[in-house]
Amino acid sequence: MKKLGIVFIILFICLVIFHLLVIQPKKYVEEDLYDKIIERGTIKVGINTDSKPFGFYDKDWNVQGYDADLARYIAQYILKSPNAVEFYPVTPANRILKVSTGELDMVIATMTITPQRKDIIKFSIPYDYAGQALLVRSNSKITSIADLAGLNVGVVFGTTAEKNMLTLAPTSTIIGFRNYHVAYEALKQGKIDALTSDDTILSTFAYDDKDVKLLPKRYSKEPYGIALKKSKSTKKLKENIDFAIKDMQRKNIITRIRRKWLKL
């Protein structure tokens, strides 16, 4: 009887070992995103759609702008067709979530590479640079950030400018907006005294509307990168995007895209 008990115990241990070593559940391996894109035949790109000249809808509801041109070039490089892009609108506040959950393959949206963001997502090498600036009404007495004490300053939620203002102008009242369009309207209507963000984005408002002006001082350096999910599955994709950016830089394609869209 005792012997039988021992046999059962040994048999049980053998079964456990067999289960752990042989029929162990397969580890979840994330599919390589580059391979998935090749198989799918399109790239899902998150882009700002209210941020002229980087990303906006034209009259036929096609997405246009600097970042859209960049996305089409990346599609040409990876999939051999500039039209192999599906654009999805993102905002500065939701784009990190959308790329880190895998809902989008990448985000191309005037996105600054920062150490804090690099803790959560991956970036390509920089494709351009901007600097934080102030947009004010043309008749404003404001000349720099030092004049903003006690005044209302508009930012777009989720931008680097929103975060930077806490240290750059701690005594001004920061008012957050959903997008640039509503923030610009608030500036025109006198609800805010200044709007702060990248010079590349704000310069278009000043160019198109003589009632507002872009002040000359810059308060940060903003390297723009293409955002990817922070995962092994995006290693090959990042390598290809970096190659594509270097190729565009070598052939002066980025300079041409910049000249086509920016008024700086």
Q: Return residues touching ligand GLU (CB under 6 A).
A: 48, 51, 92, 109-112, 156, 159-160, 197-198, 222
For residue 193, the minimal CB distance to ligand GLU (Å) is: 20
Kind and range of the H or E run holding 51:
strand 50-51
Q: Considering beta carbons, is residue 34 or 66 the nearer one to ligand GLU?
A: 66
Between CA 107 and CA 124 the distance in angstroms is 11
Alpha-helical runs (H) found in the chain? 2-21, 33-40, 66-79, 95-100, 115-118, 160-168, 180-188, 199-208, 235-250, 253-261
Radius of gyration for the chain, computed over Cα atoms and rounded to the nearest angstrom: 25
For residue 156, the minimal CB distance to ligand GLU (Å) is: 5
Check whether the bond before 53 is cis (ω within 30° of 0): yes
Cβ atoms within 10 Å, residue 156: 25
What are the distances in angstroms from CA 4 to CA 1, 11, 30?
Answer: 5, 10, 46
Q: Considering beta carbons, is residue 112 or 203 the nearer one to ligand GLU?
A: 112
Q: Considering beta carbons, is residue 114 or 240 the nearer one to ligand GLU?
A: 114
Instruction: Select from 196, 135, 211, 139 the least CA-distant residue to 163.
Output: 196
For residue 222, the minimal CB distance to ligand GLU (Å) is: 5
Q: Considering beta carbons, is residue 73 or 224 the nearer one to ligand GLU?
A: 224
Q: Considering beta carbons, is residue 84 or 96 the nearer one to ligand GLU?
A: 96
Q: Considering beta carbons, is residue 197 or 204 the nearer one to ligand GLU?
A: 197
For residue 186, the minimal CB distance to ligand GLU (Å) is: 16
What are the distances in angstroms from CA 157 to CA 49, 154, 259?
Answer: 15, 9, 28
How buried is residue 222: exposed, middle or buried, by Cβ count under 10 Å (0-12/13-18/19+)?
Answer: buried
For residue 159, the minimal CB distance to ligand GLU (Å) is: 4
For residue 51, the minimal CB distance to ligand GLU (Å) is: 6
